[in-house]
Structure 1
Amino acid sequence: MEVVIATIVAVCMALIAIMIRLKAAAKPASLKKILLPPLFMSTGFLMFTQPMFHISLSNALEAFIVGALFSIVLIKTSRFEVRDEKIYLKRSRAFPFILLGLLVFRIILKLVLGQYIEWEALSGMFFILAFGMLLPWRLSMFIKFKRVEKTVIPPPTPVS
């Protein structure tokens, strides 16, 4: 029963993320919108102050690396475009499918690993996996945004 409820919650969260992302594409991007999500998410590391969430360093590194590998797909599909001298995140038709694919993979992984790893440790590992996916993606978006920003805002001309 717990697995069914967790799966339903995960699907709802994925659908909300897709809707938020589609709405966000209608507004200009900013460095704040790009960099704040990893900062806010990093507060989740406080869970590891509780002994029940402790995991080994090797498990944490594995989870982060798997997340970073998944971020490659998000990095490849995230692009910026200039409209009316403002920078927008270009909508990717693949994004909803990528999110849903990641969700399905996560559910399968949770079902398999849940038989061998306690739910607290597994929760911590999935958090690190998500952070490992978000951080490289957002850093890549930051770099891409700065490149596009240079084309929109010309460098100041030296005064002589």
Structure 2
Amino acid sequence: FYSLEQSSSQNYGGIGAVIAHEISHAFDNNGAQFDKEGNLNKWWLDKDYEAFEEKQKEMIALFDGVETEAGPANGKLIVSENIADQGGITAALTAAKDEKDVDLKAFFSQWAKIWRMKASKEFQQMLLSMDFHAPAKLRANIPPTNLEEFYDTFDVKETDKMYRAPENRLKIW
């Protein structure tokens, strides 16, 4: 996640995105229900919360039914973590781009590396049925496809498997 021997871009793509992920939980579908004092309290304007609920539905649809080695993902089960992943990578990318030596290839590559996992199919199936996190491969591959910089960095084209049309790129914040 972090190393003094890594570039700042790699550290933003690793620990930076994870820290931002955790902070963004304050505003995911669970955290959004609590006010600044930590009390269960409706504090959003109705129109803002309705717009956020639409974004939640889009996030559910983005992951729901995506096939993995262990079976299809359950978009409803993993929505809060997916919102946090998208918020985390987006915030970390924004911060990384402020660095004079930013290397977006290193940033996105580190993001993918932190989700590497080696596990039996049975273990993956168990996680798929009860873990609130998306399967590792989906965490690595789906959030970047919502970011324009990913397409520019890797020259992703319409014919590439990771291509998502601009109008389908989900922006939570």
TM-score with structure 1 setting the length: 0.33
TM-score with structure 2 setting the length: 0.31
Greater per-residue helix proportion: 1
